[in-house]
């Protein structure tokens, strides 16, 4: 007999983001003979909880649902055997969930402790239900511990492409919303400093400087996947409030070398396979690029690819999740 698994996301599933990516990956890759998976989220084809609004939060501006359609919410809860909530504090309906249901919460974000403590007070005031707590990384775990005494780290995952190889194109790619913490500005500054024969491509939501780089705005996942396989170097210049970095894994999995700012989350993500530069420091990035251009690029990429295959392979991570679902 299969289990009805309800995945809950506060973010609009038709806008790209790390949480949306993982929710869709769960649905697409869990064994359908063992799990009936439905998504409760804005614009979901399963349970559409209503409009989402762009709300500035934690340095980002994602489309979020705060007050869901009560009828849809009740219908989804009634159907579910297990409710798996991604980002438990953002969807306020977390506090309406029936305590008789098996509930898992996954913390994705690195949010200031001040905000988390305030939300914890609200949580304790409105509800006192038991739940199983998980985090996608050590950075997210630090915040999760303000809510629960312990939390299990289960990372995000990707479907590994076993037929990919390094792309020796020497072009550059940025993926992320055009907001200050994603630091598209540093990518633009890099494009004005390096050989003009190189292509600089930004997959983002709005353009800034049209003269130096090519913009791909609000494109589909299919179009993104075509672009990402024809680049060479992926630059992750984010400055703060990052807890994982799923696009870094996607870029490596598509044959690119990832070069990242030295945020703790990114260094935790790639370990000694990573190539890092000082946070928001163009000269440091240039120094790193000059150094690796004199190195064996295939060897660098192979090390990064082996690392993500060993740690973030969908088969391995989903086995961990299946164990959790079966042993709640």
User: DSSP of 220-248, one letter per residue?
Assistant: -HHHHHHHHTT-EEEEE---S--S--HHH
DSSP 3-state assignment of 43?
Answer: coil
Confidence of residue 120 (pLDDT cuts 50, 70, 90): low
User: Which stretches of 141-242 are assigned E, i.e. beta strand?
Assistant: 152-153, 171-175, 200-204, 214-217, 232-236
Across the range 293-303, mean pLDDT stands at: 91
Confidence of residue 96 (pLDDT cuts 50, 70, 90): low
Across the range 264-286, mean pLDDT stands at: 97
Across the range 285-299, mean pLDDT stands at: 92
Of the segments 1-15, 82-96, 237-251, which one has the largest average pLDDT value? 237-251
Q: Is 80 left (phi over 0), alpha (psi -120 to 50) or beta?
A: beta
Confidence of residue 53 (pLDDT cuts 50, 70, 90): confident
The C-alpha angle with vertex 245 and arms to 136 and 161, in degrees rounded to 5, equals 95
CB 174 within 8 A of CB 155: no
**Predicted confidence (pLDDT) at residue 105 exceeds the cutoff of 90:** no
Q: What percent of the chain has pLDDT over 90?
A: 56
**What pLDDT does 294 receive?**
75
**What pLDDT does 320 receive?**
96
**What pLDDT does 126 receive?**
47
**Predicted confidence (pLDDT) at residue 29 exceeds the cutoff of 50:** yes
**Predicted confidence (pLDDT) at residue 106 exceeds the cutoff of 80:** yes
**What pLDDT does 162 receive?**
95
Residue 18 or 292, more confident: 292
**What pLDDT does 47 receive?**
95
CB 55 within 8 A of CB 75: no
CB atoms within 10 A of CB 202: 27
DSSP secondary structure code for residue 158 in this structure: B
Q: Which residues pair with 104 in a beta bridge?
A: 84, 132
**What pLDDT does 49 receive?**
85
What is the per-residue pLDDT across 181-229, written as a single tens digit (0 to 9) for each?
999 999 999 999 987 778 999 999 888 777 789 999 988 888 998 999 9
Q: What percent of the chain has pLDDT over 70?
A: 85
**What pLDDT does 214 receive?**
93
Of the listed ranges 46-55, 217-226, 310-319, the one predicted with least confidence: 46-55
Average pLDDT, the chain: 87
Q: If you search the block for the tokens 């210049």, which residue do you land on? A: 237
Q: If you search the block for the tokens 């890099």, which residue do you land on? A: 190
Confidence of residue 170 (pLDDT cuts 50, 70, 90): confident
Confidence of residue 177 (pLDDT cuts 50, 70, 90): confident
d(CA 31, CA 209): 45
Confidence of residue 89 (pLDDT cuts 50, 70, 90): low
Candidates 36, 40, 37; CA nearest to 8 is 40
**What pLDDT does 109 receive?**
81
**Predicted confidence (pLDDT) at residue 314 exceeds the cutoff of 90:** yes
**What pLDDT does 147 receive?**
65
| E strand or H helix that includes residue 261 | strand 257-261
Structural domains of the chain sorted by starting position, each given as residue range(s) with its CATH number in brackets: 3-157+313-326 (3.40.50.2000), 171-311 (3.40.50.2000)
């Amino acid at each position: 007999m299969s289990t009805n698994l309800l995945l809950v996301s506060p973010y609009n599933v038709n806008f790209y983001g790390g949480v949306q990516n993982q929710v869709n990956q769960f649905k697409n890759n869990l064994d359908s003979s063992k799990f009936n998976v439905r998504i409760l989220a804005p614009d979901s084809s399963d349970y559409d909880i209503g409009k989402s609004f762009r709300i500035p939060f934690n340095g980002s501006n994602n489309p979020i649902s705060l007050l869901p359609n009560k009828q849809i919410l009740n219908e989804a809860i009634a159907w579910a055997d297990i409710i798996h909530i991604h980002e438990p504090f953002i969807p306020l309906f977390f506090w309406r969930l029936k305590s008789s249901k098996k509930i898992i919460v996954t913390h994705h974000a690195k949010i200031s402790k001040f905000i988390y403590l305030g939300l914890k007070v609200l949580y304790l005031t409105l509800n006192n239900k038991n739940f199983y707590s998980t985090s996608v990384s050590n950075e997210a775990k630090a915040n999760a511990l303000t809510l629960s005494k312990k939390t299990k780290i289960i990372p995000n995952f990707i479907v590994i492409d076993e037929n990919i190889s390094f792309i020796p194109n020497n072009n550059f790619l940025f993926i992320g919303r055009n907001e200050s913490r994603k630091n598209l500005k540093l990518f633009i500054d890099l494009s004005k400093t390096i050989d003009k024969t190189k292509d600089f491509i930004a997959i983002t939501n709005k353009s800034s400087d049209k003269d130096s780089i090519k913009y791909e705005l609000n494109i589909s996942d299919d179009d993104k996947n075509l672009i990402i396989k024809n680049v060479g170097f992926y630059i992750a210049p984010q400055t703060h409030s990052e807890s994982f970095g799923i696009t870094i894994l996607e870029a490596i999995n598509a044959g690119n070398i990832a070069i990242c700012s030295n945020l703790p989350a990114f260094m935790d993500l790639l370990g000694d396979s990573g190539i890092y530069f000082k946070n928001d420091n163009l000269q440091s990035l240039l120094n790193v690029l000059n150094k690796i251009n004199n190195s064996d690029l295939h060897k660098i990429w192979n090390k990064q690819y082996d690392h993500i295959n060993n740690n973030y392979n969908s088969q391995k991570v989903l086995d961990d999740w299946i164990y959790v679902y079966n042993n709640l």
